[in-house]
Amino acid sequence: MSYYLDAPTPYMQDTGSYAIYADLCVGDNGSGNADPTYSLLNSAGDMNGDYYTWDNNTSDGFDTGNVQVAFGASSSGGASLSTDSSPSTGLSSACFNTVGSVDIIAGVQIPGEAQWSNINIAFLRNGVTEETLSIGSGPHVDTRATPNSPNQEQILVATPSHTDCNQVKVSGTIRMNTNPGVIPGPSDIFCDVAIIPAS
């Protein structure tokens, strides 16, 4: 397996033609009104999401604290995504045959911080693990001190050496936060995972 961590960019990058995308974002902070805080989207346009209260008191700024994330997808079994003790959300189709790469993404579009840590990635073939990767410090962007340049994104790309992997499992810790007085919109801070199918 190979992997690399891009340098942060002052713009949102194109992750390419994803098969399935796991989005963890501010959403509506768990109120259940409109914008999910974590969701799955596949390349066929199917979407499913749920609501998790990141922060019960935003008077001192928005802060999720450290949140555990578990994501899994397979060519035959669809995909699932959960955070801490929240219900798992899923899709019946992951829209890939074999895995080309996995992208782990952190991004902000306001003065804020998004980060991944303690990442574990497993590539499997028919339920049997072929390769694993563990990374302590993952994508991390922080523009809280640069309010005039708030946009930033960083991507970790992991590529299996085996070309027949048809299942992926990703776990890790995310945190999203802002300074006091800065209340983010639904998509202003995000920590995402994208599976890019093999070409």
Q: pLDDT per residue over 101-137, tens digit each?
A: 999 999 999 999 999 999 999 999 999 999 999 999 9
Question: Between the CA of residue 107 and those of 45, 163, 165, what are the distances in Å?
Answer: 22, 29, 28
- The alpha-carbon radius of gyration of the chain (Å, integer) is 16
CA distance 166 to 43: 16
Q: pLDDT per residue over 55-110, tens digit each?
A: 999 999 999 999 999 999 999 999 999 999 788 999 999 999 999 999 999 999 99
CA distance 4 to 196: 15
CA distance 95 to 85: 27
Start-to-end CA span in the chain (Å): 17
Residue 53: what pLDDT? 93
116: containing domain? 2-197
Domain count, the chain: 1
Mean of pLDDT over the chain: 95
CA distance 21 to 111: 24
Among the listed ranges 56-60, 153-157, 192-196, which one has the minimum average pLDDT value? Answer: 56-60
Q: Does position 157 have pLDDT exceeding 70, yes or no?
A: yes
Contact 39, 52 (CB under 8 A): no
The CATH number for 46's domain is 2.60.120
Average pLDDT over residues 179-187: 95
Contact 69, 37 (CB under 8 A): no
What single string gives the DSSP state of each residue in 60-88? TB-B--SEEEEEEEETTTEEEEEETTSPP
Q: pLDDT per residue over 23-65, tens digit each?
A: 999 999 988 767 999 999 999 999 999 999 999 999 999 999 9
Q: What is the pTM of this model?
A: 0.96
What single string gives the DSSP state of each residue in 122-183? EEEETTEEEEEEEEEEEEEEE-TT-TTS--EEEEEEEE-S-S---EEEEEEEEEEE--TT--
Residue 87: what pLDDT? 87
Query: Six-digit token pair at 191?
Result: 């920590």
Residue 25: what pLDDT? 97
Residue 199: what pLDDT? 67
